[in-house]
Amino acid sequence: MPELPDVETMRRYLESTSLHQEIAGVEVHAAGVVPSEEVIEQTRVKELKDALTGRSFASTRRHGKWMFIALDEDSDEFLVLHFGMTGGLKYFKDMEQAPEYDRVLFRFTNGYQLAYLSMRKLGEVAVIDDVGRFVHEKGLGPDALDPGFDLATFTDAVEGRRAMVKSILMDQDTIAGIGNVYSDEILFHAGIHPRTTINHLGEETLEELFHTMKDVLKKAIEYQAEPEQFPESFITRHRHDGGTCPICGSALESVKVSSRTAYYCPNRQRKKGC
DNA sequence: CCTATAGCCTGACGGC
DNA sequence: TGCCGTCAGGCTATAG
């Protein structure tokens, strides 16, 4: 689930539910998501609780697949969330409504609580004091939907590189926010075979790829990153064994790229060069 | 620079 | 039904 459109949807969900309420307490049900060596695990959990209790969520930001939540209006401290492959958020009141796999629970004084869920515990919950530095230290590239991330920046970033185009799209150091599913969706609409090496794309195709990337991500956000709501022309709901192209009806094929399974339409996505 | 692989963690699914 | 292998929308570290 959690690629850029999903995280953006969750960010909006958090904004519409959880801002400006005092945090009464924090429960960590699975310390695994609070990064630490085992010996200092309890210390890190305590740090998280101490940093949040009595504060409130003031505003949110997102960079790629990372969400940042400001603690109080003029604080430099941020709660940072990453959702791994199976993470999510749920705001609820009664414990009967508690979701499965709630790893960290932020309890508000109004009796409601926000749960950070992660079935596979592959995400991360931490408190940081400088978003810019955090993004820099992670080596993240520009957020895919940042208006400042324009065509020229994109072509500069891939200039001289010869990796497969799907690998480039998924490389968080190059562009932050795109994962396996949306790279497939983007390449499908751009008509590019996932194993095409990027140096074999002509200038025009590269430009089309860039605009398609922006369009697909924006469109997915419009539909709250819910594949069931996506237009029929999207490949996401069809990207499984036995799936067919929603446009031409061809049987979809799959191939490994960066150890991930890429689904594509062999008719509409011709390998270009290489 | 690039690819492939393993590992983290848990659950779903298919085959026998 | 149970057991086993494989795979899954993430990221990192490592080797070649």
Over 90: is that where the pLDDT of A236 sits?
Answer: yes
Mean per-residue pLDDT for A155-165? 93
CA dist list (Å): A225 to A11, A87, A122, A195: 12, 14, 20, 25
How far apart CA A64 and CA A107 sit, in angstroms, is 27
Domain A151-264 -> CATH class? mainly alpha
Q: For strand C, is any atom closer than 7 Å to the CB of A55? A: no
Residue ranges of chain A assigned to CATH 3.20.190.10: 4-137
Asked if the model's pLDDT at residue A51 lies above 90, the reply is: yes
User: Within 7 A of a protein CB, which nucleotides of strand C?
Assistant: 7-12
Bridge partners of residue A128, in order along the sequence: A78
pTM to 2 decimals? 0.94
Q: What strands lie across the sheet with A87-92, from one edge to the other?
A: A23-28, A102-108, A113-118, A87-92
Residue nearest to nucleotide B9 (CA to C1'): A120
Query: Strand B nucleotides below 7 A of a protein CB?
Result: 1-6, 8-11
Q: What CA–CA distances, in Å, run from A272 to A102, A198, A206?
A: 45, 9, 12
pLDDT of residue A241: 87
* Residue A1 pLDDT > 90: no
- A123 beta carbon to strand C: under 7 Å: no
Q: Where are the CATH 1.10.8.50 domain residues in chain A?
A: 151-264
Question: Taking the CB of residue A105, how many other CB atoms lie within 10 A of it?
Answer: 18
Nucleotide nearest residue A182, measured CA to C1' = C9
- Say yes or no to pLDDT of A116 above 70: yes
pLDDT at A33: 73
Which residues of the protein are close to the nucleic strand B, CB under 7 angstroms? A 32, 119-122, 161-164, 167, 197, 256-259
- Class level of CATH domain A4-137: alpha beta
In this prediction, residue A272 carries a pLDDT of 64
Q: Please report which confidence band the pLDDT of residue A105 belongs to, taking 50, 70 and 90 as the band edges.
A: very high
Strand C closer than 7 Å to the CB of A90? no
Looking at per-residue pLDDT, the higher value among A4 and A30 belongs to A4
CA–C1' distance A258–C1 (Å)? 37
pLDDT at A96: 86
pLDDT for A40: 56
Q: Rounded mean pLDDT of A230-249?
A: 93
The whole-angstrom separation of Cα A58 and Cα A54 is 13
Which is higher by pLDDT, A43 or A250? A250
Look at residue A191 in the predicted model and tell me its pLDDT: 95
What are the backbone angles phi and psi of residue A180, rounded to the nearest 5°? Answer: -65, -50
Condensed to tens digits (0 to 9), the pLDDT of residues A134-155 reads: 999 899 999 999 999 999 999 9
Q: What's the pLDDT tens digit per position in A56-66?
A: 999 999 999 99
pLDDT at A199 > cutoff 80: yes
CA distance A62 to A76: 16
pLDDT for A73: 86
C-beta of residue A68 within 8 angstroms of C-beta of residue A61: yes
pLDDT at A274: 40
Average pLDDT, chain A: 91
Q: Return the SS3 of A20.
A: coil
Confidence at A193, pLDDT banded by 50, 70, 90: very high
Q: What is the pLDDT of residue A14?
A: 97
Tell me what the mean pLDDT of segment A155-167 comes to. 93
Q: pLDDT exceeding 90 applies to what percent of chain A?
A: 79
pLDDT digits (tens, 9 = 90+) for A75-89: 889 999 999 989 999
User: Measured CA to C1', what is the nucleotide nearest A170?
Assistant: C10
